[in-house]
Amino acid sequence: MSFRLCASRLCSAAMADSGPLPDAKWSPGYSVLPDQRPSRRELLSTLTKDEAMTHSRHLLILLASLALAMLATGSPAFAALDRTGVERSFHVWLERQLWPKARARGVSRATFVDATGNLSLQWKLPDLQPPGAPKARPGKQRQSEFRSPARYFSQRNLATLVALGRDRLRQWHAPLQRIEARYGVPARIIVAIWGRETGYGRASLPHNALAVLATQAFMGRRKEIFEEETLAALTILEEDHFPGTALKSSWAGALGGPQFLPSKFLKYAVDFDGDGKRDIWNSVPDTLASIANYLKQHDWQSGRDWGYEAEIPRAISCTLEGPDQGRPISSWIAAGATRISGRPFPANERAHTGYLLMPAGRFGPAFIATPNFYVLKTYNESDAYALFIGHLADRIAYTDTPLVTPWRDPGDFSRRAVQLMQERLVASGYDVGGADGLVGFKTRTAIGQWQERHGMAATCYPDETLLRQIR
């Protein structure tokens, strides 16, 4: 739908409350920003009876047209495309551009033809930009890792994962003992990652990885990254002798139980059961050992835990958080940090480095983390993810109890609002680690520094009031 069709009061009423417009600029019918637009009810109240009736008819026609377009094409933006022509271009690209690069990496012609001969584009994937399609904004972030920490720690979800995790810990006890002995990673950590990634192998992986990756490489927004992953997937087929249809993945192209992208598979996947294949789809020992090998190769420190929930007094500023501000755990203890459980920090940990971790600032639980926490974070670049893994692992192996300190609600605000706040902090000389709308540790410490500079008690986390105050 073009802006030309929405330049009237009638269509502006139809569009009200629908969220930001495609270019996130001015709403075509009113001189207000998208998030300041009046509600549909307010707009309708300004219309005459005849206008209102006309509006209703136009709205029904508009919705019907959109529904038909979506049914026919899967995406209204692609309705006018010649899909047959795009598919032909895709196969030309496979043959002329991808095949020479695959051949240079040792992929045989037979493997390439078997894997790509019947591929078709996956039109329902997010963030596609087909040849000839109008330029559109990237799709909404779909991964839960980038939501608020409180939403991430669903007790219902955790209870299910704990129960199943304990069962898997018993079921695979013997191979897990051997894997732990070889790689130095605790069995509970390995099992927790397996559970978080694919529900201990129960999650459906319905996609053909080659089709997903090649689609993104041909007409996605990050073509170079996905072309490399497509070539890596072809190398897997060549080296491990899987048929092309065996590489099942998520919608993002992540493979098997560990959810490795193909390039990670080539580096870290392990044939632990000795059958000659690194089968992370059907072999549980291969899956578990591959996870352990990944962590070991990212410098997991054997004999150390991942971290401890702690009581952090106000005397310890939340601005001291982060992997660049580590100090001996004994130093944190001397400053007043205590374990929330009341137990002392393990004697073997006190001389080693610990890090203050406050994923929601003063709005949630705090931790003294070890370097192993940041190893977990390499698996998925999210504090919430790494914390979830550590917490789930502890509940599987020890006491099934939630974190002691509750997550407090800082209120609802948009990622765009956070990004604007970050831009203002950067303009004032603070390091937020990138104005991306995500509340990472650098943004948290920058918020706390701003609060302390302005005579406020540091919370190191945004809320609705603070977003208005930081100017």
Structural domain boundaries in the chain = 3-78, 82-132+199-297, 307-397, 415-469
Please give the backbone phi and psi of residue 338, each rounded to the nearest 5 degrees, phi first: -135, 155
CA distances from residue 351 to 322, 341, 355 in whole angstroms, order as listed: 19, 20, 13
Q: Which CATH class is domain 82-132+199-297?
A: mainly alpha
- Spatial CA neighbour of 294 closest among 195, 168, 209, 378: 378
Same fold, 82-132+199-297 and 307-397: no
CA angle 162, 360, 296 (to 5 degrees): 55
For strands 338-339 and 327-328, give the pairing: unpaired
**For the chain, what percentages of helix, strand and coil (3-state, to nearest 5) are there?**
50, 5, 40
- Burial group, residue 258, by CB count within 10 angstroms (0-12, 13-18, 19+): buried
3-state secondary structure of 205: coil
Q: Given this model, what pLDDT does residue 168 score?
A: 98
| H or E element that contains 469 | helix 464-469
Q: Angle, to 10 degrees, between the axis of helix 173-183 and the axis of helix 187-198?
A: 110
* Whole-structure pTM value: 0.81
Predicted pLDDT of residue 327: 98
CA 384 to centroid of chain Cα atoms: 10
Q: How far is CA 399 from the centre of its chain?
A: 28
Q: What six digits make up the tokens of 103?
A: 């051949």
CATH annotation of 307-397: 1.10.530.10
Per-residue burial over 231-255, b if 16 or more Cβ lie within 10 Å, else e, is: bbbbbbbbebebebebbebbebbbb
Kind and range of the H or E run holding 235 = helix 223-240
CB-CB contact of 389 with 189 (8 Å): yes
- At residue 231's C-alpha, the angle toward residues 226 and 233, to 5°, is 90
In single-letter form, the type of residue at position 415 comes to R
pLDDT tens over the chain, length 471 residues: 333 233 332 233 333 323 322 222 222 222 222 333 333 443 333 334 444 444 444 444 444 444 444 444 445 556 557 899 999 999 999 999 999 999 999 999 999 999 999 999 999 999 999 988 877 664 444 443 435 788 889 999 999 999 999 999 999 999 999 999 999 999 999 999 999 999 999 999 999 999 999 999 999 999 999 999 999 999 999 998 888 889 999 999 999 999 999 999 999 999 999 999 999 999 999 999 999 999 999 999 999 999 999 999 999 999 999 999 999 999 999 999 999 999 999 999 999 999 999 999 999 999 999 999 999 999 999 999 999 999 999 999 999 999 999 999 888 788 899 999 999 999 999 999 999 999 999 999 999 999 999 999 999 999 989 999 997
> What is the predicted pLDDT for the residue at 27?
25
Give the torsion sign (CA, 198, 167, 290, 152).
positive
pLDDT at 325: 98
Give the per-residue pLDDT at 411: 84
Give CA–CA dist 68/78, Å, rounded.
13
In sequence order, the 6+-apart residues with CB closer than 8 A to the CB of 359 are 149, 365, 383, 384, 387
